[in-house]
């Protein structure tokens, strides 16, 4: 979790296409851009500076 709960919630609903790296909403069957099915959830544990 990061500093901003709203941003965390938004990021948790973002999936990234492995093929063209387009942002897709969670739950979509395929990429909206290239129609690829290779999607991954966006990383939520982004390292932050202390």
Closer residue to Zn ion (CB): 23 or 44: 23
Q: What share of the chain is helix, strand, coil (3-state, %, to 5)?
A: 15, 20, 65
CB of 26 to Zn ion, least distance (A): 15
Measured distance CA(7)–CA(39) in Å, rounded = 20
For the bound state, the minimum distance from the C-beta of residue 14 to Zn ion, rounded and expressed in Å, comes to 13
Which residues of the shown chain bind Zn ion in the complex (CB under 5 A)?
17, 19-20, 22, 31, 33-34, 36
Looking at beta carbons only, is 30 or 46 nearer to Zn ion? 30
Contact 17, 25 (CB under 8 A): no
């Amino acid at each position: 979790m990061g500093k901003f709960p709203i941003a965390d919630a938004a990021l948790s609903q973002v999936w990234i296409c492995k093929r063209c790296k387009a942002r897709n909403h969670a739950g979509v069957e395929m990429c909206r851009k290239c129609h690829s099915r290779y999607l991954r959830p966006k990383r939520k544990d982004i390292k932050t500076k202390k």
